[in-house]
Structure 1
Amino acid sequence: MTFRILLLAGAAAATLAACATDDVWVDDGIVAQPIAAAFETDPMPGTGDRADDPALWVHAGDVSKSLILGTNKDEGLHVYDLSGAELQFLDVGQVNNVDVRGNVAAASNDEFNTITMFSIDADTGEVTHTGDVQTGKAEPYGICMGEVDDTVLIIPTYKDGSIQIWESTDAGVTLQRSLQVGQFGQLQLEGCVVDDAAGIAFIGEEEHGIWKLDLRQSDSTPEIVDTIEAGNGLVADVEGLSLWVGEGTDGYLVASAQAADRFVVYDRAAPHAVRGVFTVTESEDGSVDAVTHTDGLHVSSAALPGYPRGIVIVQDDANPTSEIDQNFKIADWADIEVALGLND
């Protein structure tokens, strides 16, 4: 059982057995800084575990017209504006995860065992379903995209612990490599994210931890980044992974520790030191409920209206009741920087 203790104000944070500030939670010995939600998307009406994974498309000419894509793993893909209002729904089947590079999006479709492709109109922002790529494997689960050395990559992950690396060109999408990543526990993989500049994919094994893979080496093997046994705040299920990308090698890897309702932040650069843990609480005015049991997430360093340091978008299991009208919550990355002292 997880015991959660709200510490009283007035004592030094270092003396956790005594007291800390009145807005710091301690969960199984891990200090998690509370970050208030800024806004939320419209709900996915209905019951059941529906909302799963978000991705942000940034409009090149007018960032205020940027879009949030969100998967509904029962039905298809939802498209929202930066107020959280729904603009489109594409009935393409049971898509689980989604990612974006440029004006192209890809989703893992475990209903049809495909990579489902979308184009996003650079001017209007209209999202169009452009086709499906048969993966040759059952139930593609997670997915991430990357652009490494001018090569666009699409990486679906699978419940048997394997991944595929596909290359996307104007001529089509072709399989370049398959390999085993999951080594422990139940092997199941889902969340992944590509660091384009570093040429690295980070991949989550739900019951074990986070792996990384060098995408520039055709014979590379996975290396461990963190495990749930290490005591850094990561717990099963290891779910969404995303990157806040700064200048050069600066930036942060963010992972969803689903069972503990929290998020672990690591340095983007090796050795990927843990920088802190946060939760997403209800908004300051109480109009947006707190986040629990997050699956997918997306982090962006793009300067958006009202959010010059970027945002984090996280799936919320309960809105506010578990598995009813699920949606996505958005928090200001600047608040996370302050709470975790990332600019100190």
Structure 2
Amino acid sequence: MTIRLTVRASALVLCTTLATSFALPAQAAGIDGVLPKAETAPLFDDEAGGNANADDPAIWRDAADPDRSLVIATAKQGGLRVYDLDARQVQSIPAPAGPDADDKPGRFNNVDLVQGLRPGGTRADVAVVSDRGNDRLRIYRIDRNKPGGPLTDITDPAARPVFSADQAEINEQKTAYGLATWTDRTTGRSYALVSRRNRTRIALLELIATPAGTVDYRQVRTLDLPSSFRLPDGTSWTPCAEPDELPQVEGMVVDPTDGTLYAGQEDVGIWRIDAGLTGTPTLIDKVREYGVPGTYDEETEECTPGADPGFGGKHLTADVEGLTLVTEPDGDGYLLSSSQGDDTFVAYDRERDEDNEYENAFRVTAASTRLDGSEVCDGAAALNAPLGRRYPNGLLVVQDGQETPGDGDREATGFKFVDLGEVLDAID
């Protein structure tokens, strides 16, 4: 079943170059900065670097020994990387190849965790990954004591493409992109919510543990977010982008308490949606560029912005990227979003009763000449739980899209580890 909102379809997305034309608020330059405590080794998106490009992290807590907790992170065509709390790599898993040499290779985009699945009848924590290259989910069992590395692929061989009808359609790469997991506390069933690249669609997939010890999935329903928007002056606006591209969603997170999905439509803003993909989505905040017309230039492959009509938000600069939650037992806490266009992170009240009001913003800034901050951040993950002696106040991991120092002319990416206690101090 597909739920469609009554909006006009369009084939345009806001180019990130549009954001550069906006002057940031005066307070943006003076917001608090927090310092990273560790960073991963740089990844390089070239042949010598295994075409690895840091994207999205997840934090797995070892309940028996929190000091041995792990960060599991995607590296796109470079597959998966697993790090300890000192940001040292403990495992690298390549993305699978395509069926044939001419087909698109595997490309791991986003990752999230599920606790308590029972593949083969045995309880397991798993990492769920969106394989954009093959349009599938990949599922990895987590066992900290396993020789050779903590992750084992238990994806069911029968797992089918998430969105595509065949390999030809997969090769067009309108495929599985953003991802968030959710376990329904009422039924105990676990799900993955998956967005589609260059489209506005989100799919709800139920994760199915099999007696053979694998994990499969089935589609429950889909929802299409708007691609065109009615502005207060009565005009219609569609974000600018390349032909045949719609404003996609990537960053997503589900509040486990009430099953609320927060989805970042990159050039539009943040949506609040029932995780079952029922009901009407609510746009809780807009990017500053919301409503600004743009003209796509095929020669430069960039958008030229027009006059700003003044309908945008005040806190987010496109793209909206990594979303994560800081949860507290009493229901308080924060929704954090990467505001990629101005290298900040924006905090909103977690409580729906407060309408997810804006709280504050912060930056992850350089701690030294060797330990830089986070720029143009794609993915983020927070865990508000003690993680041993290194992070007794919890941990925030953020992607760094401009890792420095790099290696000559090679562009580098990586991940920064930040004490969550310092983040909460900055927000408060």
Scaled to the shorter chain, the TM-score interval is: 0.7 to 0.9
Distance (Å, rounded) in 2 between the aligned partners of 1:69 and 1:27: 35
AA at the equivalent of 1:128? T
| 2:133 alignment partner, SS class | coil
Matched, 1:170 2:209: yes
Superposed CA deviations along residues 168-220 of structure 1, whole A, max 9, x for unmatched, are 1324321111111244434211110011111111000000000011135x632
Superposed displacement of residue 38, structure 1: 1.2
Superposed displacement of residue 281, structure 1: 0.5
Distance (Å, rounded) in 1 between the aligned partners of 2:200 and 2:22: 32
CA gap of 1:317–1:32, structure 2 versus 1, over 3 A, is: same
| 1:287 alignment partner, SS class | coil
Alignment of 1:130-145 (within 5 A): 130-131=154-155, 133=159, 134-137=161-164, 138-145=174-181
AA at the equivalent of 1:231? G
Partner residue, 2:169: none
AA at the equivalent of 1:147? T
Distance (Å, rounded) in 2 between the aligned partners of 1:88 and 1:245: 28
Superposed displacement of residue 74, structure 1: 2.0
Q: 1:105 aligns with which of 109, 117, 127?
A: 127
Q: Which has the higher helix share?
A: 2
Question: Is contact 1:211-1:225 (8 Å) kept?
Answer: yes
- Answer with 1 or 2: which has the greater Rg: 2
Distance (Å, rounded) in 1 between the aligned partners of 2:424 and 2:137: 35
Question: Is contact 2:52-2:79 (8 Å) kept?
Answer: no
Alignment of 1:104-123 (within 5 A): 104-121=126-143, 123=145
Distance (Å, rounded) in 2 between the aligned partners of 1:235 and 1:214: 25
CA gap of 1:182–1:104, structure 2 versus 1, over 3 A, is: farther
| 1:131 alignment partner, SS class | coil
Partner residue, 1:90: 93
Distance (Å, rounded) in 2 between the aligned partners of 1:43 and 1:55: 18
Partner residue, 2:43: 44
Superposed CA deviations along residues 219-271 of structure 1, whole A, max 9, x for unmatched, are 32211111113433211000100001101321110000111111000011121
Question: Is contact 1:296-1:315 (8 Å) kept?
Answer: yes
Q: 2:394 aligns with which of 310, 329, 332?
A: 310
Superposed displacement of residue 123, structure 1: 4.3
AA at the equivalent of 2:225? V
* Structure 1: unaligned runs, 5 residues or longer: 5-25
Superposed CA deviations along residues 63-97 of structure 1, whole A, max 9, x for unmatched, are 11111111111220011111000011111221011
What is the TM-score with the length of structure 2 in the denominator? 0.70
With 141-150 and 166-175 compared, the bigger mean Cα shift is at 166-175
CA gap of 1:49–1:273, structure 2 versus 1, over 3 A, is: farther
| 1:304 alignment partner, SS class | coil
Question: Is contact 1:117-1:131 (8 Å) kept?
Answer: yes
RMSD over aligned Cα atoms = 2.1
Distance (Å, rounded) in 2 between the aligned partners of 1:274 and 1:219: 25
Q: Percent identity?
A: 31
Matched, 1:181 2:225: yes
Q: 2:262 aligns with which of 198, 202, 218?
A: 202
Superposed displacement of residue 291, structure 1: 1.2
Question: Is contact 1:232-1:274 (8 Å) kept?
Answer: no
Partner residue, 1:23: none
Question: Is contact 2:162-2:175 (8 Å) kept?
Answer: no
CA gap of 1:33–1:27, structure 2 versus 1, over 3 A, is: farther
Question: Is contact 2:267-2:320 (8 Å) kept?
Answer: yes
Superposed CA deviations along residues 256-315 of structure 1, whole A, max 9, x for unmatched, are 0111111000011121011101100112x5431121110011111121123222111111
Q: 1:239 aligns with which of 312, 321, 327?
A: 321
Q: 2:423 aligns with which of 329, 336, 342?
A: 336
Distance (Å, rounded) in 2 between the aligned partners of 1:309 and 1:277: 19
Distance (Å, rounded) in 2 between the aligned partners of 1:201 and 1:87: 32
Distance (Å, rounded) in 1 between the aligned partners of 2:396 and 2:402: 18
Matched, 1:295 2:382: no
* Structure 2: unaligned runs, 5 residues or longer: 1-19, 96-105, 116-124, 165-173, 211-215, 229-238, 240-245, 289-311
Question: Is contact 1:67-1:79 (8 Å) kept?
Answer: yes
Q: 1:269 aligns with which of 328, 341, 351?
A: 351
Q: Across the two proteins, how many residue pairs are aligned to each other? A: 318
Distance (Å, rounded) in 1 between the aligned partners of 2:260 and 2:31: 28
What is the TM-score with the length of structure 1 in the denominator? 0.86
Distance (Å, rounded) in 2 between the aligned partners of 1:179 and 1:3: 32
Q: Which has the higher strand share?
A: 1
AA at the equivalent of 2:278? D
Distance (Å, rounded) in 1 between the aligned partners of 2:25 and 2:74: 30
Question: Is contact 1:312-1:332 (8 Å) kept?
Answer: yes
Distance (Å, rounded) in 2 between the aligned partners of 1:211 and 1:3: 23
Matched, 1:215 2:253: no
Question: Is contact 1:251-1:267 (8 Å) kept?
Answer: yes
Question: Is contact 1:109-1:115 (8 Å) kept?
Answer: yes
Matched, 1:327 2:387: no
Partner residue, 2:304: none
